[in-house]
Structure 1
Amino acid sequence: MARKTLEPRPDREVFAMPLTIRPEHIDDNGHVNNVVYVGWLQDAGTAHWNARFDAETRTKWSWVALRHEIDYLRALMPDSTVVARTWVGDPQGPRFARYVRIEDGEGRLCAQGVSEWCLVEATTMRPTRIPADMLATFERR
């Protein structure tokens, strides 16, 4: 049973990223293989992080994925235009839930996912509570 449609909170920035369907993404059923979506969830989160934080911050901190959950709602075919829209939830100590909607060129929801990420110090890989100023960066501008 699919979860309800994910909608961004009004206080969160929604980061949009176009996705490209490559020939190797297409499976024997003629549509994007399910495992590709996991990569897209990670790519969207990483792009959002890279777009909002400077090199010094990105060198100090890193993110480790703890889990991914995806609902597949509509098949994406080889010639589809695709966009990922992502935003974060509330921090729970060192953890953040990141939400991703994958939509086709007509704005139809094709898949949605929730990933749980843990903030770590890049040199030690130790989990670290998410700083309040980091959350502010992900708020609606």
Structure 2
Amino acid sequence: MVFRGVFHIPNGNLTAVIDALSAFAARNPDLDFGKTAFFNFSSFYDYFVSLLEPSNPTGFNVLLSSRLIPETTVLNLPEKVADAFSKARGQSGNGSVLLGHIVAGGQVSDISSTNNSVNPGWRTALLHMVYSQAWLDTTPEYI
């Protein structure tokens, strides 16, 4: 299992953090920490310019779309579902992601006389698929 984390400790004790994380890693040898890096900045501005500004923390360019896939579609047309997922994932070689969530079961599928705001599509859905495509601010408009 890979463990990833980012810890921000404003005005904190870096030595205490390193000691705590080292002890955690020693007690959990099954976790892959990969690379460990610690940074210390003299001001919030230095921190912002070095780590936050390059990643544009105010947001990023992305298109999102999602679909609820009914259980009957998955069971009766598995080849078509797999083909659609393959085609959607192959739309772009730079930044597209196809993410699936299993959502079936539970009380959402229990149709009762109680009025609620659950979209009826959720009652029969097995999958909630989300497709996203990101792009850089420097991407030309004609693309």
Fold match (TM-score > 0.5): no
Higher strand share: 1
TM-score normalised by length of structure 2: 0.25
TM-score normalised by length of structure 1: 0.25
Which is higher, the Rg of structure 1 or of structure 2?
Answer: 2
